[in-house]
Amino acid sequence: MASALPPTFFSLLLLLFPISAIAQTSRNITVGSSLSATDDNSTWLSPSADFAFGFHRLNNSDFFLLSIWYDKIPDRTIVWYANGDRPAPRGSKVGLSSDRGLVLTSPQGEELWTSQNLTGVVASGVMNDTGNFVLRDSSFNKVWESFQDPADTILPTQNMERGGFLSSRQSETKFSKGRFQLRFVQDGNKQKIEVGTLVLNTINLPTNEPNTPYYVKESTVGGNASNPGKQFVFDESGYMYILKENEERSILSPEILSTGNSYFRATLNFDGIFTLYSHPKTATANESWTAIWSVPDNICMHDFIESGMGICGYNSVCHLQPDKRPRCECPRGYSLLDPNDPYGSCKPDFIQGCKEDELSSQKDQYYLENLTNTDWPTSDYIKLVPFNEDNCTNSCLQDCMCAVAVLTDGNTCWKKKLPLSNGRFTGTFTGKAFIKVRRENSTLLGPYFPVPGNETIRKKNQDGLVIGGSVLLGFSVFINFILIATMLYSFYFIYQKKIKQINQKGVGLEMNLRRFTYKELEEATNGFKEELGRGAFGVVYKGEIKMGSNVQLMAVKKINSVFQENEKEFNAEVNIIGKTHHKNLVRLLGFCDEERQRLLVYEFLSNGTLSGFLFGDSKPDWERRIKIAFGVVKGLLYLHEECSTQIIHCDIKPQNILLDEYYNARISDFGLAKLLMMNQSKTHTAIRGTKGYVAPEWFRNMPITAKVDVYSFGVMLLEIICCRKSVDMESEGEDRAILTYWAYDCFQEGTLDALVDYDMDDMVKLERCVKVAIWCIQEDPTLRPTIRKVSQMLEGVLDVPVPPCPFPYAASTIVTAN
């Protein structure tokens, strides 16, 4: 028989048991641990496995979001995310380091995100059961936590101090920063809002500057300004309130009696509604989150947003749905600027303006569409009293600036101009709104399909049918039979021809572009007579085509024969280009893909290329040049991060930047890089190894990323600043031949005014722009900022640190040679 164990053994077991249990449930993450963005979906779980920290794959793409989510809910609900504006490519890694905490890097080693404001040296990390990811030092003190860096959601036990805020995402599935904020106000002087007030407001992206709040939760009780809110509390029971300096509570959400069986979260939705949700912990696949409280009650009718577009986009109308969520709609005659953003701005489906109206010979160019219960209360530019309905509508029709006329109180006429903001639909509005729409036969954009219900157009159509019917009845039955048979045969012939074309081409393009015939474009360009420019892709010719009663100018790019074999590639790239919509991109109107002839048809821009603008006889003024630089950045930001398919241009240079009639920058030739052979994208020179705008990685067998466009933009930004070409062998002195080297020398020596011929008053702006350009032309692509950061630095949203030497390789070579 085994001998009995001594009592001290059991005492030792009792002492060791809790330590063992803690070791199994705390799930500490040690320094050096990492997770990778792959399909295996490895995570760091909380002890209860309620929450997971890891990578969430975005829409079955090859991009991932570093995030925290409820892991036991079938429909994954993300409650925190880090890199919404910079999704991580497949193969990216997040690691835990002692000096920087969490660091997210791309497969190429580029830093995408890092935990900020550490208060000590990191020893370990842990995913808590509250949904809070915490970094701790060796004494288990918190040095960083996700609760202090929230995204769009707060959780029970997560409190917000003054100055804290939530930012909405762009849409339900897009996690880049949206335009709504929840703020716990720290500075009470702005917008006359008291300290410790909880507000909801819009922002004007890409800045964080708040517009007028559309919801305010007062921070004082009974008007006692000496008792402001000090903390926004979301306690463990799912109860939200503002805690005052004197410990009083200002209640927000209703108190919840039973919390043990449900999860809770409060989210600032992408449409601006702040909502408290609950979800059963033992939910089935059919159960989802239930909204139990939200603010504001009617977001469409809440306070006007004095700056910015309002709750919906410009020219849009906000409708309140039964669940208190807004729905944004374009009025008749208008359509979404971005078809993928139903909450965005609307654009007229016709050209409206004083200059365009003068070009039309028709007097009765517009009709007014009556909109019931609709108003844009902040877009007025003139008030007319007393004015009846006829006076009001006639005044708008005759005024080229008037887009909408609203009659209130039966005798007050409000005329409104574009863009319209704070649009709303409400049954309590008793005025009459009339929106102006161009008639079918006077549009400058081509055929405009009449709005159903327009009596004038309907009557014309009916008159035409009556006349046509009378003529037909005048013929004999035999003649009518011959006419009908001929028509049917013609339709059949055309139909068979179209089917044959479709079968030859395969799947048609998915966007609304016009397919031109080669003969049409040959006639439009007068036999390709007037050349506008030429480049690696082909030659561009000026053309014009009649659309309705008007003539529209266009630029026709005849693709080089070297690309004629790439039919699938051509159609794929045209499909991508056709889906892009941005004010800083040249618009593609149509294309020709006929046998071996492939052409692209763009809008014609009257002020030519940036090259001709910068390097002409006279020097353009500084403000106009910088406005052009901002426009190029915004266009690149759209191509890199905001359109449905990322587009790397690969050929940014002044010749590919066109200027419209108002000297707005418009990027051309985007989306064609995949058709360009690699050896046509590179040029070499004996001067320090590079020439022009080509990023160094093209020559070093390195991965080509969007950073190549950042490099090219940096070179071009210096050209915009200095009004000279990047390579000028005729310049005074060899040290000035290469602009990038000369600019860095001037920056180091403190002689930036030499770059602008001592013709610059604001040296602060000049230094900011030069520093941004030097960051962009770093030979090491990981040191270059993203185009979003470039935009933020140029606009002053981010500080611009002192850049390092952009060409260390060249510098080391020179030193060795000496």
Greatest mean pLDDT among 118-127, 218-227, 428-437 lies in 118-127
Dist CA 573 CA 801 (whole Å): 38
pLDDT of residue 191: 61
Greatest mean pLDDT among 8-22, 74-88, 526-540 lies in 74-88
Closest CA to 404 of 421, 417, 388, 391: 417
- For residue 479, pLDDT over 60 is answered with no
Backbone φ, ψ for residue 432 (5° rounding): -115, 130
Closest CA to 429 of 409, 414, 412, 415: 409
**Look-up: residue for tokens 């920056």?**
747
Task: Out of 5-9, 98-102, 783-787, pick the least confident.
Answer: 5-9
Q: What is the pLDDT of residues 128-145, one digit of tens each?
A: 999 999 999 999 999 999
Band of pLDDT at residue 680, cut at 50, 70 and 90: very low
Q: What is the pLDDT of residues 344-373, one digit of tens each?
A: 899 998 877 787 777 665 567 888 999 888
Query: What average pLDDT score do residues 567-573 get?
Result: 69
Task: Out of 281-295, 396-410, 467-481, 640-654, pick the least confident.
Answer: 467-481
Contact in structure between 245 and 261 (CB atoms under 8 Å): no
Q: What is the pLDDT of residues 492-510, one digit of tens each?
A: 555 444 444 443 343 344 4
The count of other CB atoms within 10 Å of the CB of residue 18 is 9
pLDDT of residue 469: 45
Contact in structure between 724 and 664 (CB atoms under 8 Å): no
388's CB contacts (< 8 A; 6+ apart) are 407, 410, 411
Q: What is the pLDDT of residues 736-756, one digit of tens each?
A: 888 999 999 999 998 998 888
Dist CA 707 CA 187 (whole Å): 38
Band of pLDDT at residue 645, cut at 50, 70 and 90: confident
Percent of the chain with pLDDT over 90: 43
pLDDT of residue 709: 94
- For residue 461, pLDDT over 50 is answered with no
Higher pLDDT, 159 or 227: 159
With vertex at residue 684, the alpha carbon angle to CA 682 and CA 685, rounded to the nearest 5 degrees, is 155
- For residue 566, pLDDT over 80 is answered with no
Closest CA to 790 of 732, 671, 709, 679: 709
State both tokens at 813: 């070579």
Contact in structure between 635 and 627 (CB atoms under 8 Å): no
The count of other CB atoms within 10 Å of the CB of residue 412 is 15
- 567: helix, strand or coil: helix
Catalytic residue check, 303: no
pLDDT of residue 391: 94
Task: Out of 509-523, 684-698, 768-782, pick the least confident.
Answer: 684-698
- For residue 255, pLDDT over 90 is answered with no
pLDDT of residue 459: 40
Cis-peptide into 150, omega within 30 deg? no
Band of pLDDT at residue 475, cut at 50, 70 and 90: very low
Dist CA 250 CA 221 (whole Å): 7
Closest CA to 184 of 144, 213, 226: 213
Query: What average pLDDT score do residues 703-712 get?
Result: 91
- For residue 76, pLDDT over 60 is answered with yes
DSSP 508: P
Contact in structure between 589 and 603 (CB atoms under 8 Å): yes
Please give the domain boundaries of the chain with CATH numbers for all domains.
24-146 (2.90.10.10), 150-296 (2.90.10.10), 317-457 (no CATH), 514-603 (3.30.200.20), 632-650+677-817 (1.10.510.10)
Dist CA 10 CA 7 (whole Å): 5
pLDDT of residue 152: 97
Higher pLDDT, 41 or 399: 399
- For residue 573, pLDDT over 90 is answered with no
Q: Which pTM value belongs to this model?
A: 0.54
Dist CA 405 CA 397 (whole Å): 9
Torsion sign (Cα): 672, 675, 678, 679 = negative
**Look-up: residue for tokens 């020398």?**
745
What residues form DSSP beta bridges with 32? Answer: none
pLDDT of residue 15: 39
- For residue 164, pLDDT over 80 is answered with yes
Band of pLDDT at residue 25, cut at 50, 70 and 90: very low
Band of pLDDT at residue 762, cut at 50, 70 and 90: confident
Q: For the chain, what is the mean pLDDT?
A: 80
pLDDT of residue 499: 41
- For residue 556, pLDDT over 90 is answered with yes
Closest CA to 73 of 56, 50, 57: 50
| Marked catalytic residue, from 50, 338, 651, 709 | 651
- For residue 599, pLDDT over 80 is answered with yes
Contact in structure between 391 and 384 (CB atoms under 8 Å): yes
Query: What average pLDDT score do residues 199-214 get?
Result: 87
Report strand pairing: 63-70 vs 88-89: antiparallel
**Look-up: residue for tokens 């749905």?**
321
- For residue 685, pLDDT over 60 is answered with no
Dist CA 442 CA 456 (whole Å): 14
Task: Out of 325-339, 558-572, 630-644, pick the least confident.
Answer: 558-572
